[in-house]
Amino acid sequence: MNAAEDSRLLLAPDTVVVSAGRPAREHDAPVNPPIVLSSTYVGTGTVVDGDRAYGRYSNPSWDPFEQALAQLEGAELPALLYASGLAAVSSALSLVPAGGTLVMPRHSYQGALVMASELAQRGALILKTVDIADTEAVEAVLAEGQVSMLWLESPTNPMLEIADVPRLAGAARAAGALVVADNTFSTPLVQRPLEAGADVVLHSVTKYLAGHSDVVLGALVTSNAELRAELLHHRSIHGGIAGPFEAWLALRGLRTLALRIERSQASAAELALRLQQHPQVDGVRYPGLATDPGHDRAKAQMDGFGSILGIEVAGGQVAAEKVVEALQLWVPATSLGGVESLIERRRRHANEPASVPANFLRLSVGIENVEDLWADLRQALDAL
Ligand SMILES: *Cc1c(COP(=O)(O)O)cnc(C)c1O
């Protein structure tokens, strides 16, 4: 038996990322799972539940990652891998019944908000957006009744607001609403929403879990067998499945997750402090800063503060654009969670909510030497 699957061994998460999803220990067995390239599987007689049957229903290349992620999130059932984070969002939103109400943070991941608004526009659901950091306001919306799903993202993308995850999950449950938590920013090493009462956890595996900006994938995790069956059915019928090579790359990336997070979190904390002192920076958003409005809440419910931070550049949009152009090491690109540090002015996207300031830069801190990262930021800010 694989050591990580032996429940008698209670392994720490930084061990699980390395040991989970390995092939059985047999003489001459490979240490890593193989990539299985097959669109169909041999079978005769009636197809029964659990048969591989066809490549859109299952692939052995997905299983190791699905087991590893479930173990990390503390789920009792294997995760479900998807073609992208948004394919996972689409599957999760399929749990809202026709005409049901969905409550979402106003600063949710932009693609999830666009999808939800488009579904609302054609009458598939009712969308209510909220300030997710304002617990009483969210509870008031839940108390109005008839809410089918509460969507949680904490920290939010890109404004880094912190939701009171356990309290809101409890309030949603009391109101009969399902809770889906997008845990992309934190990863299960920093935050485990299922333990805090969420029904489903969502990941853009593209980001930290895979970690090398070379693959697009998503995942859902739940311990609820009925919900998992519904989601699996949706994945099989809508077809948003992962490629075998991508699944293999994601597991390969996961092996170093603990080291990457340790390094990038420490660097993000250091950079947040230094940026706060720079005269060309009007404000820093990072839940690890003692002055951040979400700090106490984040401290209570997370094992760390993540590696994403936001700054508002003094001098507005033009100054912020100049900083991005002057950087030499930081890569100007959307996305986050890779080994390389990325920076982006979020409002360059037409769909970004106007409540995100025009001079706001989102920084995804990678694993480079922190002094090099700082020197590059400082020269770009000093040049203003
Ligand atoms: C990137 C992202 C997504 C979407 O994932 P894709 O893999 O790009 O489809 C969803 N949620 C968050 C928080 C993200 O950062």
Say what the pLDDT of residue 3 is.
47
Residue 6 has pLDDT above 60, yes or no: no
Q: How many CB atoms neighbour CB 345 within 10 A?
A: 21
State mean pLDDT over 132-161. 96
**Angstrom distance (rounded) from CA 306 to CA 123:** 37
Residue 57 has pLDDT above 90, yes or no: yes
State mean pLDDT over 371-383. 98
State mean pLDDT over 198-205. 98
What is the third-level CATH fold of 3-254? Answer: Aspartate Aminotransferase; domain 2 (3.40.640)
**Angstrom distance (rounded) from CA 182 to CA 98:** 22
221 C-alpha to ligand 1 centroid (Å): 15
Q: 61-87: per-residue pLDDT in tens?
A: 999 999 999 999 999 999 999 999 999
Atom from ligand 1 closest to the CA of residue 336: 15
202 C-alpha to ligand 1 centroid (Å): 9
| pTM over 0.75, yes/no | yes
The residue written with tokens 């050591």 in the block is 3
Atom from ligand 1 closest to the CA of residue 217: 7
Residue 1 has pLDDT above 50, yes or no: no
Residue 4 has pLDDT above 70, yes or no: no
Q: 106-120: per-residue pLDDT in tens?
A: 999 999 999 999 999
Q: Tell me where in the chain the CATH 3.40.640.10 domain(s) lie.
A: 3-254
Helices (H), the chain: 13-19, 63-73, 85-93, 110-121, 135-143, 165-174, 225-238, 244-254, 257-277, 295-301, 316-326, 370-382
State mean pLDDT over 2-11. 61
Which CATH superfamily is 257-382 part of? Aspartate Aminotransferase, domain 1 (3.90.1150.10)
42 C-alpha to ligand 1 centroid (Å): 35
Q: 8-49: per-residue pLDDT in tens?
A: 568 999 999 999 999 999 999 999 999 999 999 999 999 998
Per the annotation, the verdict on 285 as an active-site residue is no
Q: Tell me where in the chain the CATH 3.90.1150.10 domain(s) lie.
A: 257-382
Closest to 186 (Cα-Cα) out of 68, 15, 72, 270: 72
State mean pLDDT over 163-184. 98
Per the annotation, the verdict on 6 as an active-site residue is no
User: What residue's CA is closest to ligand 1, atom 6?
Assistant: 85
119 C-alpha to ligand 1 centroid (Å): 18
User: What residue's CA is closest to ligand 1, atom 2?
Assistant: 204
Per the annotation, the verdict on 303 as an active-site residue is no
Atom from ligand 1 closest to the CA of residue 89: 10
Per the annotation, the verdict on 128 as an active-site residue is no
**Angstrom distance (rounded) from CA 13 to CA 31:** 20
Q: By percentage, how much of the chain surpasses pLDDT 90? A: 96
Say what the pLDDT of residue 7 is.
54
Ligand 1, CB within 6 Å, residue ranges:
84-86, 109, 111-112, 157, 182, 184-185, 204, 206-207, 216, 218
